Amino acid sequence: MEASVEQLVFVRDDEYTVARMSAEDVPGFVAAGRALAGVQPGETLRLTGEWEDHPRYGRRLTVTSCERVVPATVHAIRAYLGSGLVRGIGPRLAHAIVDHFGVDTLKIIDTEPERLTEVINIGPTRQSQIVQAWRDQKAIAELMTLLAGYGVSPLLAAKVYQVFGAEAADVLTRDPYRLIGKVRGVAFATADRIALRSGVPERSPQRLKAAVVDRLETAAGASGHCFLPLPALVAATAELTGQDPALIRQTIDALTTERRVVVEGSPGHPGRLAVYAKELHSREQALAANLARLCRAPSTLRMRAYREDPSLHEDQRAAVTMALTSTVSIITGGPGCGKSHTVRAVAATVRAMGGTVTLTAPTGKAAKRLSELTGLPAMTVHRMLAQQEEPDDGTLFQQTPTRADLIVVDEASMLDLHLAVRLTAAIPDGTHLLFVGDSDQLPSIGPGSVLTDLLRVPEIPRIQLTHVFRQAEDSGIIRAAHQIRAGAVPPLPGRGGFWFEELDDPLEVARRVVHLATEAIPRKQNIPPDRVQVLCPMRKGATGTVEIGRMLQERLNPPREGVAEHWSGATVYREGDRVMPIRNNYDKGVFNGETGVVTAVVPHERLLEVRTDDGKTVRYGFDELDELTHAYAISVHRSQGSEYPFVVAPIVAEAGGVMLRRSLLYTLVTRARSWVVLVGTRDALETAVRRVGPPRNTGLARRLEASLHAPAR
């Protein structure tokens, strides 16, 4: 039968799709099946399947195959154009166009597009936009068919087209390995499936090179490694491709000759070789050189006698002296040890001496928190770097911020290799650079472990604040955090802001977490639910961010009549949803870890609007939604630099509990200001406290030591 898609009801991660549809003989029915993956409201489909009785939807069509067809009736054409599939045409304009051209509408858009200007409200500019959008939609539909033929998810079509445009089909058929690293969601396995079905030999140099590069990129993205030991890389690539290790070694040699990878001595392992992707090798070298330059440079800070603050603890006073006398230095310490108060004292001293100070942090929330704790203006590192070229208007900072006498980087454990290189390259000689952080927290999301590596270089001055102040000692959260940090399980079930609820079944744990976050805590504390943040150690599974986030969305922002929504893969975005960017977008001025609310979903413009927590309105096209994620439940990693009044988190050993480790639990607990409630098993909690994660493969410490010992140029 042929039918039009009216509304998507549900999409699972495995692409199983439920949709409301309408056909000429069956005015309204529900269809379901994985064959519907990627369909959108407004499309006309030729369906094959079987009718069945469903307890919720009644008579339902279980679809076994689905083919897109050109709408042939006036009603279907009007629904297609008014659905938002063709950017720039909304329901009202769709009616006007179809009223004018009738059943020939799509043929005219395709073959005589200049005639669109016959319709009122369509001038040359809008006509051009509609034609381009029509062509884009046709190309994406063709890509979906092509991908389905390769046994690959058709949901990738829009992403592939966004990256490669008109050459997308040619890339798929001739060199699908180009998709890796460029199209989000495409790893080696997907590209390899297309290539092998296209006839690429399993021993093809093109295939093996792509596999080696993929293993390096996966190690950087998933585990934060800057390099892999040669034997590990050979073994991983051989397993991925099913080819002989000797052939993989030859492939690495070829990539080295092509300067796509760099092979050098492995740090800390004489006689062993390390393999870097060229970009990460260059950035690690550049960061070491930048830091060595800053360490060697004579200070431009005009030192004069200053009065020590008697309210500071002795190690805080030592930290102030260190920051004033060393051009690169580090302050570390756990919660309640006075890091922010020390930063405030350092900044006040510099300003009292006539100097200038810039306070920064890697994320907007961390910068805002730093400003609140110190009482001084703070900005993100990204904004500071942007203002290097476009100085502030003077209302916040009186000088180009990278040229301050002292630059403080708070939450320095979040600095990855990429951001650290940009930061240090922008700082002029003589400026003091002070890193402040907690080395026991999780490392950065991106590759590298910058703060940990700097602490391994003896030549860089550092002070660890260890004294826990009395007001902090009264916090159950801070007590529990320091016990976890020391490798001890806090007394259970806890007290004074730290609480543990024991449940075994992961499904029950998820339901309890949702109840606590949406009902129990808001009712007990008389607060709105948006003051409670759910943090999860993992993304997948019954207690992961995806499933718990979906449950929270259904509870807090369910589908409602008149509230616009859009499905992007298995994720539905509605007005009122809490969201966060998962990628830095310098054009939009949004950065990983910020949060906001969806204020509008505009199908005919194929975009949604987000108002960030700092009041900025940002637009995301429907083809850019892989840059967003819901913020109902977020990973512990993405919570770094943020603080929430109340935190609820599942702690279970799902999937072997591979993410359960001390740094994750410690970071999780320290995100809460008033209460943190953990729900799960004692075994999982004990595993998290006991397990120390493996170090990242980096060479920064060795390079920096070598640079500092080398003769100055």
Instruction: Name residues whose C-beta falls within 8 Å of residue 431's C-beta, 6 or more positions apart in sequence.
Output: 294, 300, 327, 402, 403, 404, 405, 406, 407
Is 268 flagged in the annotation as binding?
no
Torsion of CA 486, 489, 493, 494, to 10 degrees: -10
Is 159 flagged in the annotation as binding?
no
Is 340 flagged in the annotation as binding?
yes
Other residues' Cβ atoms within 10 Å of the Cβ of residue 105: 22
Sign, CA dihedral 554-556-560-565, equals negative
Q: Tell me, what amino acid is at 127?
A: Q
**What Cα–Cα distance (Å) separates residue 553 from each residue in 157, 531, 556, 637, 668?**
27, 15, 5, 21, 22
Strand ranges, E, within 189-295: 227-229, 261-265, 273-277
Is 339 flagged in the annotation as binding?
yes
**Residue 22 has which token pair?**
């309408």
Q: Tell me, what amino acid is at 185?
A: G
Q: 296-306 burial string, b = 16+ CB within 10 Å, else e?
A: ebebebeeeee
Give first-to-last CA distance, the chain, whole Å. 77
SS3 state at 308: coil
Q: What is the DSSP string of 474-525?
A: T-HHHHHHHHHHTT-PPPSS--TTEEEEE---HHHHHHHHHHIIIIIHHHHH
Is 338 flagged in the annotation as binding?
yes
Euclidean distance between CA atoms 632 and 667, whole angstroms:
18
* Residue 574 φ/ψ, nearest 5 degrees: -125, 155
Strands 378-380 and 357-361: parallel
Assess contact for 356 and 405: CB atoms under 8 A. yes
Instruction: Name residues whose C-beta falls within 8 Å of residue 563's C-beta, 6 or more positions apart in sequence.
Output: 574, 575, 576
The secondary structure element, H or E, covering residue 680 is strand 672-680
Q: Which residues are annotated as a binding site for ATP?
A: 336-340
Q: Which residues are annotated as a binding site?
A: 336-340
